[in-house]
Amino acid sequence: KVLAGATPTPYPRFQSAAAALPYTEDGLRAICAKAMARDIVNRYMAAATLAEAIRQWLANAGARERAIELVRRADTLDPDMVALRKRVATLRADAASVLGSLPADAPADQKRAGWAREDQAADIEQELVRKQVRYANYLQAALAGVPDLPEAQGRLEALAEAAGASLGQGPLGAA
């Protein structure tokens, strides 16, 4: 029955665990399928070749795990960046409210409160840019280990959009 039947599929527990793992099992499934191929010409020709395929899969899985850890580190910075963006927006709105209610020729003493809020917003923007650079560095390091890591790619794209929207400039606050 084994010789005449279809190639067995991986054990269901192995399949269901994929969601819990930080890397995909597709490569290991392909190795198993090749090792169990019915036709001998489709199998590994030597145990050493099979062992090397498994070693390579393990190395790639380890690289993915390290890359995912870098993404997690980047994620720890996200709440701070959100709070800083909100704080900058609030300060800019307050400054605009104070300065907008004054005539253009109002004395400097009356404008100081608005200017102070603008200065605070600028200082916080600098802190935000520093955090964004750290965030991007973590994600780029993850991509250096696993170039097609969707978690890092998506976050970098979102960062570029958020940075441009909140600062009115290009990615990471650069003009």
Which one, of 127, 122, 102, lies nearest residue 112 by Cα?
Answer: 102
pTM: 0.65
pLDDT in tens, the chain (175 residues): 666 777 666 554 444 444 444 445 677 888 888 888 888 898 899 999 999 999 888 888 888 889 999 999 999 999 999 999 999 999 999 999 999 999 989 999 999 999 999 999 999 999 999 999 999 999 999 999 888 888 999 999 988 887 676 555 444 444 3
Rounding to the nearest 10 degrees, give the CA dihedral for residues 113, 118, 122, 123.
Answer: 10
Task: Give the whole-angstrom CA distance, residue 168 versus residue 39.
Answer: 61
Query: With contact defined as beta carbons under 8 Å apart, do 128 and 84 qualify?
Result: yes
Residues in the chain, total:
175
Query: With contact defined as beta carbons under 8 Å apart, do 137 and 172 qualify?
Result: no
